[in-house]
Structure 1
């Protein structure tokens, strides 16, 4: 018999998995864990990749599956591609954790125009908006490399998608 408590336990197990590329965030805080349902002994987690070429997708799916199995469930993963993930799905807690980890969180901006504009990116260390982009790519393809002209520290910015 599936209860709300059973589904909450399955959600909690899946939601606790850390992103392998940005281990300061869980898959729930990143917004890629869409839902978890339980039918019988099987928990199904639905995940949306951050983008189609993300090299961490399989690692994340395997980690969520393992977390569900450790919680006592038979596990199933469904990859959900529509609607496509957007950085707007990162939770407020996730944005604060990115900042504390030293990565500037993405500017909240829905719509296609956000993809073609240069955002004002605040330094996650000192908070200054006097920053310049050094490279379109940072530690991962989802990030760009910036430098703060106020504190002179380099940092990654999680690009708006």
Structure 2
């Protein structure tokens, strides 16, 4: 068995950025905004630096394993995966494409922090099914720790909402 051809940093970055998030597979790690950098370190070893969405995320071991696998597939079996904790990840790092993908799968993405806040008069996030803002939280957690479940009073459907961080 021959070794994988050694790809340059740009090609490794493209492969790393295409890795799907284990908990939200419709969105890539690049769309989620967790990839900080991909390149050779001062010692010449290819390194992927990422910022976890939160420290208690149960997907961290899977993300690290997936990133190491990509490095090996790109000819860098000695490559490193490093967590960068500062600055902390925020939902503002989710790309517009990532927000679109989340919404297309029925998960309401949080508004960017810099977005003007609408006066909601106690109403919730817009329902992805019917658009009504007559929504309310059902519980603090959803299918993953970073989501909550909301219920729409208009169409009576429940839906996931990605919590703002």
- TM tier, smaller: 0.7 to 0.9
Q: Does 1:85 align with 2:82?
A: no
1:25-56, Cα deviation, whole Å (9 max, x unpaired):
11110011111013587321001111111111
Cα drift, residue 106 of structure 1: 1.3
> Among 139, 142, 146, which residue is 1:138 paired with?
142
Aligned to 1:70: 73
* Unaligned ranges ≥5, structure 2: 1-6, 115-121
Report runs of 4+ in structure 1 exceeding 6 Å deviation.
Answer: none
Larger Rg: 2
TM-score for the superposition, normalised by structure 2: 0.83
TM-score for the superposition, normalised by structure 1: 0.85
> Greater helix percent: which structure?
1
RMSD: 1.9
Contact 2:123 2:133 in 1 (8 A): no
Aligned to 2:4: none
* Unaligned ranges ≥5, structure 1: 111-117
1:84-141, Cα deviation, whole Å (9 max, x unpaired):
100010000000100111111012226xxxxxxx884122223322211111111111
